[in-house]
Structure 1
Amino acid sequence: IGPVVFIGLVVPHVARVLAQYAGLGPDHRWLLPLSAALAAGLLLGADILGRVIARPVEVQAGIIVAFIGGPFFIALVRRRRLAEI
């Protein structure tokens, strides 16, 4: 499992932002399917990128997801700390 857990951290926040821009609000009837679709898309994109980025070897999808999820997690923590101040 490892870094793929970042999908569970990144995708719901991105889905909520996209739902806000689409005017759907915090309605879980839209957020859950949107989160599922975005999670599948992120993992598929990470897998494709991992296969293409360093041919002929393959970079694991978990490593690509960690490069995406790590900075997102840091930004999320910083934003929460600024909101507390």
Structure 2
Amino acid sequence: MPQAIPDLVSDMRESHRSNYVRLSAFTGLVWDHLITLSDEIEYVWKSPKGPITYLFFFIRYFSPLSFIVNLVAYFPPDWTDTQ
């Protein structure tokens, strides 16, 4: 059983690293949305709406929402290193 403790510590470290990667990816996605918002308003929001425009809106805004759901799933407030 002595091998179980180092494995648990290694698993916790990998879990934390994965969470940091998820959070940095979400930060990059939000940053991209913010810096391209003026172009989006000018070229998409002010243009005539069609199926492609609605597909753009769905993809553009579904991605951050799915990222948020993913982050909430991996960062629950009741998780601690002692569990």
- TM normalised by structure 2 equals 0.35
Larger radius of gyration: 2
Decide which structure has greater helix share: 1
- TM normalised by structure 1 equals 0.34
